[in-house]
Structure 1
Amino acid sequence: MAGTISIDNLVSVSELSHGGVSRTLARVTDDNPVVIMRNNKPAAVVITPDDYKRYTEAEEDFALYLEAVDRMKNDNGERLNMSEVFGKDYKPVDDGFEPEFE
């Protein structure tokens, strides 16, 4: 997606309510998001499903990155084994599933 929004990509809410939804959606591409304006202020951005998926995955990856950085910053070197984490009675479930690797 481009870093700037063209004035051609601004759509007022009133245009949508007067039958402009299909025209507006037809203009949306990966490189061409549409900004919905209400009272001369941006109210929403219409993006493609692929862009939405990419942005949400990036957000999740960034949250995991921040958590990893925090853990490394606060690491005291202590490591726990499986029984310390799950308890002494923990037994892995053997459901017969064998992953296939190619």
Structure 2
Amino acid sequence: MRIDTRDMVSVTELGRDLSRRINDASDGRTVVVLKNNQPAAALVSPAEMERLQVLDEREDDLRLLALAVVRMTTDTGTRVDLDDLATELGFDLDALDDHDD
């Protein structure tokens, strides 16, 4: 996403011109707010905010799908009992249960 430099505004300027900048954002223009000459925030329309939220959800879904595909393709079918694993690692599960009380 490219931001027009005309859509960059300092915090001070934003305070003087808030109504116009909110109108710009509601019209679909992203307004980048600078603090100490660094991007600090952005004003976006509700539609853009919703679009970004949908993209975040899709990104999470794709990450989970990729993890599932990796697990499905690398699964050997071997399963290990928790008690056997604890014994192999030197843990006493009964002692761990007593510690939780």
Letter in 2 for 1:15: E
Distance 1:5 1:61 in 2: 24
State percent identity of aligned pairs. Answer: 24
* Residue 50, structure 1, aligned to residue 50, structure 2: no
Alignment RMSD, CA only? Answer: 1.7
Distance 2:48 2:30 in 1: 9
* Residue 27, structure 1, aligned to residue 17, structure 2: no
* Residue 17, structure 1, aligned to residue 26, structure 2: no
1:1-102 correspondence runs (5 A): 3-18=1-16, 20-28=17-25, 29-30=27-28, 32-75=29-72, 76=75
Larger Rg: 2
Partner of 1:36: helix, strand, or coil? strand
Partner of 1:44: helix, strand, or coil? strand
Extract structure 1 runs of 4+ deviating beyond 2 A: none
Partner of 1:74: helix, strand, or coil? helix
Query: What residue ranges of structure 1 are gaps of 5+ in the alignment?
Result: 79-102
Q: Deviations over 1:29-81 (max 9, x none)?
A: 32x20010111111111111111111111111111111111111112387xxx
Query: What residue ranges of structure 2 are gaps of 5+ in the alignment?
Result: 78-101
Q: Which has the higher helix share?
A: 2
